[in-house]
Amino acid sequence: MSPGFKFHAIVGAMKKKFAKLTKKEQEKVEAEYHRMKPEDFDETMSSPTRQSPNTVHLPNRLVEKLKTVAEQQGKSEYQTMVKIWIEERLRQEAGVR
């Protein structure tokens, strides 16, 4: 994956999250951004969280059910909910052994 593609993918994801915010929340985020100093960006950019790009293929019917549950729980994205579920289960499994 080229760096340019990766950058555009990240920007696209950020735009989607920003679009889901209320107008007031968007204004708050914009105000915080405009108050930042160049050194703030250095700190933010120098300590990114590391994640591996992983894909789990799920049947469409299962994805639709996950989306429904996420919506019922007030979650904006089902992927985040599934990640939390997996983390919780891993903690449970680690505690059992």
pLDDT in tens, 28-48: 888 887 888 877 777 666 666
Whole-structure pTM over 0.75, yes or no?
Answer: no
Alpha helices in the chain (DSSP H): 3-19, 23-35, 38-46, 60-72, 78-96
Rounded to 5 degrees, what are φ and ψ at 44? -65, -45
pLDDT of residue 1 exceeding 50: no
Domain assignments of the chain as residue spans, ordered by start: 1-53, 56-97
pLDDT of residue 14 exceeding 80: no
Structure tokens of 41?
Answer: 């960006």
CATH 1.20.120 is the classification of domain 56-97? no
Rounded to 5 degrees, what are φ and ψ at 52? -90, 135
Q: What is the mean pLDDT of residues 71-83?
A: 88
Cα 80 from Cα 86, distance rounded (Å):
10
pLDDT of residue 76 exceeding 60: yes
